[in-house]
Amino acid sequence: MLSDGEQQSANYLTTGTWSQGAIKEAKKYCAANEVANNTSNGYSTIAEPADWNVDANAKFFHYCDNETIQGFEFAEFPHDKVPAGQTLVCDMSSNFLTKPVDWSKYGVVYAGAQKNVGPAGLTFVIARNDLIPGHRADTPLLCDWETFSKAANTFHNTPACWPIYMCGLNLAYMVEQGGIPHLQAKAVERSTLLYNYIDGSDGYFVNNVEARYRSRINVPFRICSNEGLEKKFIAEAAAADLIDLSGHRSVGGCRASLYNAMPVEGVHALIAFMTTFKENNARPAAE
């Protein structure tokens, strides 16, 4: 951990809105070194790992495994780019429990429960034991991991009981369904169906993310590069009980989120609607 007054460096990889926000916040506390940044290409890809600007002396390396807004996900993070002995920290908020994790590679993983596990109001923090002590003196009490690790068989304060209870029920259900292997297979099935349809639409629907970085969880897409057509699509989809298909307000367009709770039947329904919409709405003439 960083000691009081130190401006030690930390590596931050920017792949979308959430990792961009993370490095902005980090600059309040340390010398944040940006390993790579994909804003110039619209977050559609990232520089080859061999070209990353990694600070070998940094305290830790932070990245976001899946960017919900841009639909950018690491199928396999290049762990060899993290210097030996450097702590790897990962934001897994939106793809947590959708694929296996090699926990030996990570020092800290954090994730909001609300995407794949349970209701909003609960955050998972998985920290290696040796990283729990050694906090800065100005660390707020409730941000100090020792506050909770030392509260054996009790709690420092009353936790969010209902979200914890609901997550417990859902986790038990996930285990009954087959656990991570089952959830991973479903994530691949859902996203593959949708990407194959988009790619086969002759450019009517378009996803601009490089294939190897396409998210299995969040699929943003544009319709003929036409905002009017996209607004019509979103409105008619909502009328057909296909809701929340608008892209994030910061980027526009459309987006289908395929979290663990989404059944494959929902993807089939979306594809059927997209097919009908394409048939009924001709591609606008080029200006």
**Same domain as 188, residue 49:** no
CATH number of the domain at 107, please.
3.40.640.10
Alpha carbons 241 and 273: distance in angstroms, whole number: 10
Statement to judge: residues 254 and 137 lie in one domain: no
Helices (H), the chain: 17-26, 145-149, 161-177, 179-199, 227-239, 264-280
In a domain, 196, yes or no: yes
In order along its 287 residues, the chain shows pLDDT tens digits of: 445 455 689 999 999 999 999 999 999 989 999 999 999 899 999 999 999 999 999 999 999 999 999 999 999 999 999 999 999 999 999 999 999 999 999 999 999 999 999 999 999 999 999 999 988 888 899 889 998 888 877 888 888 899 999 999 999 999 999 999 999 999 999 999 999 999 999 999 999 999 999 999 999 999 999 999 999 999 999 999 999 999 988 899 999 999 999 999 999 999 999 999 999 999 987 65
Q: Is residue 153 domain-shared with residue 13, that is, in the same domain?
A: yes
Does residue 95 lie within any of the structural domains?
yes
Q: Is the residue at 165 inside a domain?
A: no
269 and 198: one domain?
Answer: yes
Domain range for residue 100?
Answer: 9-112+123-159
Same-domain check for residues 100 and 222: no
As annotated, the active-site residues are: 18, 91, 115
CA distance linking residue 186 with residue 260, whole number of Å: 8
Concatenated DSSP letters for 151-183?
Answer: -TTS-SS---HHHHHHHHHHHHHHHHHTHHHHH
User: For residues 209 and 72, is the Cβ–Cβ distance under 8 A?
Assistant: yes
Same domain, 41 and 143: yes
150 and 18, same structural domain? yes
Read off the pLDDT of residues 19-57 as tens digits, 9 standing for 90 and up: 999 999 999 989 999 999 999 899 999 999 999 999 999
In a domain, 58, yes or no: yes
Looking at the domain assignment, is residue 270 inside a domain?
Answer: yes
135 and 193, same domain (yes or no): no
Any domain includes 207:
yes
CATH code for the domain of 265: 3.90.1150.10
**136 and 207 co-located in one domain:** no
Q: Are residues 192 and 153 in the same domain?
A: no
Q: How many domains does the chain have?
A: 2
Helix (H) or strand (E) holding 36: strand 31-37
95-141 per-position pLDDT tens digit: 999 999 999 999 999 999 999 999 999 999 999 999 999 888 888 99
- Residues 140 and 31 placed together within one structural domain of the fold: yes
Cα–Cα distance measured from residue 83 to residue 61, given in angstroms and rounded to the nearest whole number: 9
Q: Is residue 4 a part of any domain in this protein?
A: no
Whether residue 285 is contained in a domain is answered as: no
Tokens of 3: 């000691």
Q: Quick one: 211 and 97 in the same domain?
A: no
